[in-house]
Amino acid sequence: MTTTAEAGDAGTGSGEGGDGKGAPPASRRALVAGSVGNFIEWYEFGVYGYFATIIAAQFFTPEGGSDIEALVKTYASFALAFFFRPVGAALFGRIGDRIGRRPTLILVVLLMTAATAAIGLLPTYATVGAAAPWLLTLVRVLQGLSAGGEFGGAVSVMTEFAPPGRRGLYGAWQSFTVALGLLAGAGLAALLATVLGEGDLQRWGWRLPFLLAVPLGLAALWLRLRLEETPSFRRSSGASAGHARGAGADLAPAAARRPSAAATWRAVGLGIGRLMGWSAAGYTFLVVMPSYLQSTLGASFQQALLATVVANAGFALAILPAGALSDRIGRRAVMVAGTVALIVLAFPLLNLLQDPDASSAARAAAVFAAGAAVGLLAGPGPAMLAEMFPTTVRYTGLGLAYSLSNAVFSGSAGLIITELIKRTGDADVPALYVVAVCAVGLPALLTLRGDDHRRALRD
């Protein structure tokens, strides 16, 4: 369901004379306003993953319960939030495609901020007993709903405002702020672990990163209140309104371009296939890794977090160049290269981490390379998705594809990997998971057209 418009980015400009040589003010505001919500969302999801062992002890460990059992339950709550993302994508996507990107993104950031801050205030198992995990799970559900509505709106805003020839780079900022959010979460967790010590971190220090969502959310709200509606949505909604009033034939085709539900769901399914390797590898190497290093390889909390910071640094540094490169040579070439790299490197990189004789520099290089390979998928990915859907269903369609892929292959990664290691004792499970999912998703990436990056977004 790729676009059929001729080459060029007509329809993606800001309406302020963007010519590809420099971003107009509306485009820059779109980047910042879209990015900040993604930053908060992934900062929180990263923090939850990095503090998984502490959260397990605080919320899921009754008397006599084992640590591994509690960790599995923590990841089950983690996965549950992901499975509510598609609900949020459908709910907020429909609102965003009907009434506009701007008001929907404002609503989403308010819900996201409130839910994240609530985790920092929740009573633990020691205080309220069995109610604690249920309260945490409820808050995670609200986070899942808001996160589901965030991606589709942010990517729609960024790509619909992108100047000609820069849609891949603009979309890549969504992924880049994901990396920044994960890095900020890991960095703050490592700082707190160093400054507070394990005792204070276990008792109350783990709450601080979640409470930090309040000032971050207020900043995001201010930025989004200043955001304009996208030109693509204005054109599409104006054409639809004109058609509904029986306006001239020149407006009718635009209103009639809303695809059928069957066509939209086919595109969503194809989008899931194109994203599944990114989803699985991203969460395995960037979020699940700290708990794996601690529970399976015996690393300390600080060592695990340091390895994750290095992996996320590799991820972050690869994203924007990958997005920009995809504007030159196409989304397919860059994303296929990243997928093949993950398939080839997953086992060697993991085995290097497992080697007790490996130097610290070698291990750092391994996790850095894993993060960079994921960045090759994350850079072009948002623009690739935006190009699959017309404006009338773009918020909903790309949001559903992304959230469903993440629900199945990201949200379940920690649960699947931890449970399989528990049952089999095989320390290679993370690499096996990444290779299997990437191999299944590779054929879907090969169906991408080589010139999609040169075609206009469909109105």
pLDDT tens for each residue of 261-272: 899 999 999 999
The pLDDT, as a whole number, for residue 376 is 96
Angstrom distance (rounded) from CA 133 to CA 358: 39
Judged against a pLDDT cut of 80, whether residue 68 lies above it is answered with: no
The pLDDT, as a whole number, for residue 331 is 95
* Mean pLDDT within 325-334: 96
Angstrom distance (rounded) from CA 360 to CA 364: 6
DSSP state of 285: I
- Three-state DSSP class for 455? strand
* Mean pLDDT within 303-327: 89
* Sign of CA pseudo-dihedral 38, 374, 388, 451: positive
Residue type, 416: I
Q: What is the DSSP string of 26-48?
A: HHHHHHHHHHHHHHHHHHHHHHH
The pLDDT, as a whole number, for residue 72 is 67
| First-last CA distance in the chain | 13
> Do 152 and 399 contact (CB within 8 A), yes or no?
yes
What is the tens place of the pLDDT at every residue in 285-301? 887 777 777 777 777 77
Topology (CATH level 3) of domain 25-452? Growth Hormone; Chain: A; (1.20.1250)
Judged against a pLDDT cut of 80, whether residue 56 lies above it is answered with: no
Angstrom distance (rounded) from CA 182 to CA 40: 9
Angstrom distance (rounded) from CA 284 to CA 286: 6
The pLDDT, as a whole number, for residue 351 is 87
Domain boundaries, the chain: 25-452
Judged against a pLDDT cut of 60, whether residue 149 lies above it is answered with: yes
**Range in 15-29, 144-158, 353-367, 391-405 with the lowest mean pLDDT:** 15-29
Measured CA to CA in angstroms, residue 184 lies from 49, 63, 238, 267 at distances of 13, 34, 41, 34
Angstrom distance (rounded) from CA 230 to CA 14: 7
Residue type, 159: T
The model's confidence at residue 452, banded by pLDDT at 50, 70 and 90, is confident
Place of tokens 């980015």: 9
Residue type, 354: Q
Judged against a pLDDT cut of 60, whether residue 14 lies above it is answered with: no
**Range in 83-97, 186-200, 438-452 with the lowest mean pLDDT:** 186-200
> Do 399 and 307 contact (CB within 8 A), yes or no?
no
Torsion-angle region of residue 255: left (phi > 0), alpha (psi -120 to 50) or beta? alpha
Reported for 343-346, long-range contacts at CB under 8 A and 24+ positions apart, including other chains, are 343/434, 343/435, 343/438, 343/439, 343/442, 345/369, 345/370, 345/373, 346/281, 346/370, 346/430, 346/431, 346/434, 346/435, 346/438
For 247-270, the three-class secondary structure string (H helix, E strand, C coil) is CCCCCHHHHHCCCCHHHHHHHHHH
* Mean pLDDT within 378-382: 95
The model's confidence at residue 37, banded by pLDDT at 50, 70 and 90, is confident
The model's confidence at residue 251, banded by pLDDT at 50, 70 and 90, is very low
Token pair recorded at residue 104: 């929907």
The pLDDT, as a whole number, for residue 69 is 61
Token pair recorded at residue 1: 């369901």
Q: What is the DSSP string of 216-230?
A: HHHHHHHHHHTPPPP
Angstrom distance (rounded) from CA 91 to CA 117: 23
Judged against a pLDDT cut of 70, whether residue 64 lies above it is answered with: no
Token pair recorded at residue 389: 């859907």
* Mean pLDDT within 95-119: 92
What is the tens place of the pLDDT at every residue in 202-241? 888 889 999 998 999 999 999 999 888 888 888 887 655 5
Which residues, in sequence order, are CB contacts of 199 under 8 Å at separation 6+? none
**Range in 45-49, 68-72, 91-95, 339-343 with the lowest mean pLDDT:** 68-72
Place of tokens 């993991």: 350
The pLDDT, as a whole number, for residue 42 is 80
* DSSP bridge partners of 455: 7
* Mean pLDDT within 142-169: 91
> Do 175 and 323 contact (CB within 8 A), yes or no?
yes
- Three-state DSSP class for 447? coil
Start-end of H helices in 284-359: 289-295, 301-329, 331-354
Range with the largest mean pLDDT of 130-139, 178-187, 320-329, 450-459: 320-329
Q: Global pTM?
A: 0.81
The pLDDT, as a whole number, for residue 412 is 76
Average pLDDT, the chain: 83
* DSSP bridge partners of 7: 455
Q: Which residues of 143-157 are buried (b: 16+ CB within 10 A; e: fewer)?
A: bbbbbbbbbbbbbbb
CA nearest 445: which of 367, 372, 399, 388? 388
- Three-state DSSP class for 12? coil
Judged against a pLDDT cut of 60, whether residue 15 lies above it is answered with: no
The pLDDT, as a whole number, for residue 13 is 43
